[in-house]
Amino acid sequence: MKNAGLIGVLLACMVWAGCSGNQTGTRNDQALSSAPAAASAERISDSAGENPAGEGAAGGPAAPQLVALLPADGQVAGWTPSREPRGFTADTLWEEIDGAADSYVAYGVEDAVFADYRQSGTGHEAVVEIYQMKDPLNAFGKYADERYPDYAFVQVGNEGYAAGNLVNFWTGRYYVKIRSLAENDAVGEELMKLARSLAGKVTAPGKEPGELAFFPAKDQVARSARYIPKDVLSQSYLTDAFQVEYKAGQKTSKLLLISLASPNTATDALTRYRGAVARDGKNIRTITAPGDGGFAGQDGFYGNVAAVRARNYMAVALGTTTEDVGKAQLAELIRNIR
Amino acid sequence: MSATRPSRLTTNRRQFLSQTSVALASVGLVGVPPRWTTDPPDAPPAAITSPAGQRIIQRTLGRTGITLPVVSMGVMNANNPELIKQAYEAGVRLFDTALGYQRGRNEQMVGDVISRLGVRDKVIIQTKVPFPQAPAGEIKAKFLADFTGCLERLQTRYVDILLIHQPSLEEMDHPEVRDALTELKRQKLVRFVGVSQHRNQADALRNAAEGGFYDVALVGFNITNAADGGFLAAIRTAASKGVGLIAMKTQAGGRARNLGTLNQTAMLKWVMQHPEMATSIPGYTNADQLAESFSVASGLEFTADEKAWLADKSVLAGLDFCKQCGACLPTCPKGVDIPTLMRTHMYAANYANFEHARATFDEIPAHASLGNCVGCEQCAARCVNNVRIAERVADLKAMYA
């Protein structure tokens, strides 16, 4: 029926002119009905993260600057491209990695390339993924979003980690992921050769965000730092945050530094966040320091919480062993900013 | 540099291993019964009441008998454990994660929150393990080993629903994986098994419906599937055979596809107005999105605004448009220039610009023209964006006959 409707409209307009083209009703019927169609249109989108076989979407032409980073044919330890590189943009990345694209978009992905390689001799197969983010901060952010403090870190690019069948690292504006279908030590070494070749082509590798130096060093969990561009603490109004984890005895906690547009915006954000915490928090009360003050108490998940404002920043300590520990961390953090 | 995870997890891991070591050993086919401190529940979780006192629409997940609110949580992109807690408190009971999400960190976060809240017996944990890339004969062991990691990260003795992540039809039927899943169910490490599928969804549903092996299917389902008769028929068949159906991609990839302002509740309601779907797993990353999504569980009727949004033809064009990516080209055995044909169709059907449609049509060289589209029993061309290629080609044939 739907087909008949659309065809009818089209046939009626076969004179190629003078048709008002009022197909609104027809189009709505398509979307709102579940009438059988002439043929199915199954999704064939794919996800690298969800499909270890790497059978990705066809993609489009790869961005030249990303292609230039890819190892050329035979340039590195016999690795040879086995398929044309597939290019994606922020709008099309979901075709390759499906819902995982949301996170890359949040970190400002601009272009991505997926390239398949095969190594002569060994027969190893690898997929090289390069994500070009809008700046080094977001490249670090996406990389850190996927790292664990207890990974085996390697010196490639700014920082990377390796497991049996993958090497992930970030350098400059790029987050690079290289993975193999096989999992053994031998392939890991071969993947590292690809990684080092690629990292060597990035002339401006950048460095970790300077804000991380503001965080107190005592009890800091190494390589736990993250950059969170949006939805910080599940609050849509909190963006641009750095987060570091701490461990004291058996207790872990978090310290966050959130950058707002202005002191007034920071004050408003702090007020809204206090309201969110107070919904199931206990003993929530105003504190006047450190910084320009804020509130402290216990929230329903982390336990001790303290949040303050300093200039256009909001700083939050979550889950510390005592409230005083949290306030001391906040005080040091704010001192370091100044 | 420290090389340890937070101690709480370490402790939990130790406790976990101690409590379940016999069970895991038995999965290694020793055949020793697991030493449960508590068994997985035979009955579904208790009825849910919203903290705000609203009605929560619940449905039964096929033959599993599990009753769930029509809105659940796809945890994949959530970066804050508190959001999972907030979702639970709002009434969400099924949490969907996967081994592959954030390389296990996502599972760890889900397990951490549920453990802290002490609500394991009140929630449904659904996770996914991909078909192992391992030589024949080692596939079962690899699958079991991967699943063991899931249990550890989730800090649980059992998973309610274990899905094979994106298997091919052959992989769905693979005896080693089926053995593994059967063994896990027998050992009560998994309550129900299923598949998560993005591609060949109709075939996967038919397989699940006919085979009777899989209890649950997680499928991408949204407004762009409205006219996909084959898929809709497969959904109805699977549901009628007792396969529990869960909808993902309910927003049609909207946030990632940059489709502009989407009416999230309208799209989610549209999905759940299909009674075959027991629940849905929209992804949300902040409290506002959680509230927006879960509001749908209180009423599936469209509001006037939602109706107006759905009636906007530009919305539908945006959701079902050819982006000229060319991914369909290799799927047509006749080498027809499908992207240009789709552009032709768009100019004619969406913009009523028939002159431009004709000019576009005439750009196509003879060897890739519509005239070559003959001889196939069923159109093999496929679009990653769900554009209904065959249907549009049929329209064009009617136009240019």
Amino acid at B166: Q
Closest CA to B319 of B327, B310, B328: B310
Which of A16, A44, A83, A96 would you mutate first to test chain B, the one with the most B CBs within 10 A? A44
| pLDDT over 90 (residue A177) | yes
d(CA B8, CA A202): 40
DSSP state of A221: P
Closest CA to A208 of A151, A157, A154, A134: A157
Which of A3, A20, A43, A88 would you mutate first to test chain B, the one with the most B CBs within 10 A? A43
DSSP assignment of A70-134: SPPTTTTTTEEE-S--EEEETTTHHHHHGGGHHHHHHTTEEEEEEEEEEETTT--EEEEEEEEES
CB count within 10 Å of CB A122 equals 14
Query: Does the beta carbon of A90 lie under 8 angstroms from any beta carbon of chain B?
Result: yes
Give the pLDDT confidence of B280-326 residue by residue, as tens digits.
999 888 999 999 999 999 999 999 999 888 877 666 666 666 766 67
**Residue B211: helix, strand or coil by DSSP?**
helix
Which of A9, A23, A40, A320 would you mutate first to test chain B, the one with the most B CBs within 10 A? A40
**Whether ipTM exceeds 0.85:** no
Rg (CA), chain A: 25
State how far the alpha carbon of B146 is from the alpha carbons of B127, B156, B340, in Å: 11, 15, 45
Query: Do B201 and B234 form a contact (C-beta atoms < 8 A)?
Result: yes
Residues from chain A that touch B384, judged by Cβ atoms under 8 A, are: 43-45, 57-58, 95
pLDDT score recorded for residue B67: 95
Q: Give chain A's mean pLDDT.
A: 83
Nearest to A31 among B310, B330, B353 (CB): B310
Structure tokens at B57: 């629409």
B58: phi then psi, degrees, rounded to nearest 5: -125, 150
pLDDT band at B264 (very low <50, low <70, confident <90, very high): confident
Query: Does the beta carbon of A210 lie under 8 angstroms from any beta carbon of chain B?
Result: no
Tokens 């906690």 -> residue: A253
Task: Report the chain B residue with the minimal C-alpha distance to residue A50.
Answer: B100
Structure tokens at A2: 């739907």
* Yes or no, beta carbons of B384 and A43 under 8 Å apart: yes
d(CA A281, CA A320): 15
Nearest to B257 among A24, A32, A91 (CB): A91
Looking at A195-199, B162-166, B352-356, which range is the least confident one?
A: B352-356
B125: phi then psi, degrees, rounded to nearest 5: -100, 125
d(CA A287, CA B169): 61
State the helix-helix crossing angle for B389-400 and B338-345, rounded to 10 degrees. 70
DSSP assignment of B90-104: HT--EEE--TTGGGG
Query: Does the beta carbon of A84 lie under 8 angstroms from any beta carbon of chain B?
Result: no
pLDDT score recorded for residue A92: 80
For residue B188, the distance in angstroms to the closest alpha carbon of chain A comes to 26
**Residue A222: helix, strand or coil by DSSP?**
coil
Strands B94-96 and A251-259: unpaired
pLDDT score recorded for residue B323: 62
In DSSP terms, A122 is beta-bridged to none
Tokens 């059988």 -> residue: A36
Query: Do A165 and A187 form a contact (C-beta atoms < 8 A)?
Result: yes
Nearest to B7 among A28, A91, A250 (CB): A250
| pLDDT over 70 (residue A97) | yes
Query: Do A118 and A79 form a contact (C-beta atoms < 8 A)?
Result: yes
Which of A11, A24, A42, A298 would you mutate first to test chain B, the one with the most B CBs within 10 A? A42
Query: Do A129 and A178 form a contact (C-beta atoms < 8 A)?
Result: yes
Residues from chain A that touch B294, judged by Cβ atoms under 8 A, are: none
Task: Report the chain A residue with the minimal C-alpha distance to residue B359.
Answer: A16
Looking at A236-250, B50-64, B276-290, which range is the least confident one?
A: B50-64
**A229-240 mean pLDDT:** 95
* Yes or no, beta carbons of A36 and B98 under 8 Å apart: no
Task: Report the chain A residue with the minimal C-alpha distance to residue B133.
Answer: A181
Residues 227-266 of chain A whose Cβ lies under 8 A from any Cβ of chain B: 228, 230-236, 245, 247, 249-252
Nearest to A223 among B1, B258, B330 (CB): B1
Query: Do A139 and A206 form a contact (C-beta atoms < 8 A)?
Result: yes
Q: Which residues contact A239 (CB under 8 A, 6 or more apart)?
A: A229, A230, A231, A232, A258, A259
Largest Cα–Cα distance in chain B?
A: 74
Closest CA to A109 of A47, A63, A55: A63
Q: Which residues contact B328 (CB under 8 A, 6 or more apart)?
A: B338, B339, B381, B382, B383, B384, B387, B389
Query: Does the beta carbon of A89 lie under 8 angstroms from any beta carbon of chain B?
Result: no
Give the pLDDT confidence of B229-252 residue by residue, as tens digits.
788 999 999 999 999 999 998 887
**Residue A333: helix, strand or coil by DSSP?**
helix
Give the pLDDT confidence of B109-157 residue by residue, as tens digits.
999 999 999 999 999 999 999 999 888 999 999 999 999 999 999 999 9
**A275-294 mean pLDDT:** 94
DSSP state of B215: S
d(CA A61, CA A45): 17
- Chains A–B, number of C-beta pairs less than 8 Å apart: 287
pLDDT score recorded for residue A34: 32
| pLDDT over 80 (residue A255) | yes
Nearest to B399 among A14, A38, A57 (CB): A14
* Yes or no, beta carbons of A43 and B198 under 8 Å apart: yes
CB count within 10 Å of CB B348 equals 30
* Yes or no, beta carbons of A23 and B350 under 8 Å apart: yes
Closest CA to B91 of B73, B74, B107: B73
Q: Which of the pair, A332 or A187, is modelled with greater confidence?
A: A332
| pLDDT over 50 (residue B19) | no
Query: Do B164 and B132 form a contact (C-beta atoms < 8 A)?
Result: no
Query: Do A91 and B257 form a contact (C-beta atoms < 8 A)?
Result: yes
Q: Which of the pair, A180 or B315, is modelled with greater confidence?
A: A180
Task: Report the chain A residue with the minimal C-alpha distance to residue B201.
Answer: A42
Element (H, E) at B244: strand B244-248
Does this model's pTM top 0.80? My answer is: no
Looking at A305-319, B173-187, B260-274, B321-335, which range is the least confident one?
A: B321-335
* Yes or no, beta carbons of B352 and A21 under 8 Å apart: yes
Q: Is the peptide bond before A290 cis (omega within 30 degrees of 0)?
A: yes
